[in-house]
């Protein structure tokens, strides 16, 4: 039983060299007491025959590859993180991580290996067509930065949950700068967009999508800010203080 309240079943024994070993059988709630006793009896039977279950488990974990670790992480993360995030992580793993460092064992992975992976992604060595989607999966600094961040999370999972490594080799590594570029539409471009939207409206294009574009143009809201808005029947009375006016309405007032 840990101070945090997490509890596990374990069996303690001495191997043939007389060293005391502890083997975790499973977490409380995952196993019933009877199931834990059965596993403990099987482990002690193996010890009596000269085996060392704890050492064998450590050897298996020591030989696990980065590719296998990624698969374990994805399986464990299912249900804990959003499906969209999980799908993006899986895409980065299959496109960049596995081809570049997937064959390496987790324990042998070094910061230099991760730095080489970063350089290869930036150079576009893992760019390839997307299956069933338009365009290509490209490299670049932004892709390398996000892939490094994800890999750091996976290696932390290996350190804290699986106890495969004692140190995270990705910790402290510098990510390449994500050189996002953005600009504002010029007045003549806004005019062209307006003409295009009116033409699209006349031929029956999605009215909700067109309304959403108008909302973003008129309010200056970011996309996710607009998506997070909720309808309210409340009205703002004349002379109401700014603190009582919704943020979106204040933004609209400034933009208008």
Three-state secondary structure readout of 176-204: CCCCCCCCCCCHHHHHHHHHHHHHHHHCC
With contact defined as beta carbons under 8 Å apart, do 164 and 69 qualify?
Answer: yes
Spans of all domains in the chain: 8-62, 66-160, 183-227+246-256
Report pTM. Answer: 0.52
pLDDT score at 134: 43
Is 66-160 a CATH 1.10.150.130 domain? yes
With contact defined as beta carbons under 8 Å apart, do 18 and 47 qualify?
Answer: no
Residues in the chain predicted with pLDDT less than 50, given as ranges, are 132-135, 240-256
Task: Please tell me the chain's helix, strand, coil percentages from 3-state DSSP, rounded to the nearest 5.
Answer: 55, 10, 40
Tens of pLDDT, residue by residue over 45-55, are 888 888 878 77
171 to each of 4, 104, 152, how far by Cα in Å?
Answer: 25, 18, 7
pLDDT score at 178: 61
Rg (CA), the chain: 27
């Amino acid at each position: 039983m840990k101070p945090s309240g997490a509890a596990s079943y374990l069996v303690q024994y001495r191997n043939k060299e007389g060293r005391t070993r502890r083997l975790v059988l499973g977490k409380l709630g995952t196993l019933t007491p009877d199931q834990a006793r059965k596993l403990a009896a099987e482990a002690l039977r193996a010890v009596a025959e000269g085996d060392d279950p704890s050492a064998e488990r450590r050897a298996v974990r020591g030989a696990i590859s980065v590719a296998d670790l990624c698969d374990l992480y994805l399986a464990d993360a299912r249900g804990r993180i959003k499906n969209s995030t999980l799908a993006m992580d899986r895409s980065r793993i299959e496109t960049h991580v596995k081809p570049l460092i997937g064959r390496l064992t987790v324990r042998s992975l070094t910061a230099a290996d991760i730095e080489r992976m970063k350089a290869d992604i930036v150079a576009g060595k893992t760019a390839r067509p997307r299956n069933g989607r338009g365009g290509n999966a490209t490299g670049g600094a932004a892709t390398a930065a996000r892939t490094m961040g994800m890999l750091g999370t996976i290696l932390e999972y290996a350190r804290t949950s699986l106890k495969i490594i004692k140190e995270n080799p990705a910790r402290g590594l510098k990510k390449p700068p994500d050189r996002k570029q953005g600009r504002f539409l010029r007045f003549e471009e806004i005019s062209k967009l307006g003409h295009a939207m009116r033409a699209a409206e006349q031929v029956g294009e999605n009215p909700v999508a067109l309304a959403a574009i108008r909302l973003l143009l008129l309010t200056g809201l970011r996309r996710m800010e607009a998506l997070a808005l909720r309808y309210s029947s409340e009205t703002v009375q004349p002379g109401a203080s700014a603190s009582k006016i919704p943020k979106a309405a204040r933004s609209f007032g400034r933009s208008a």
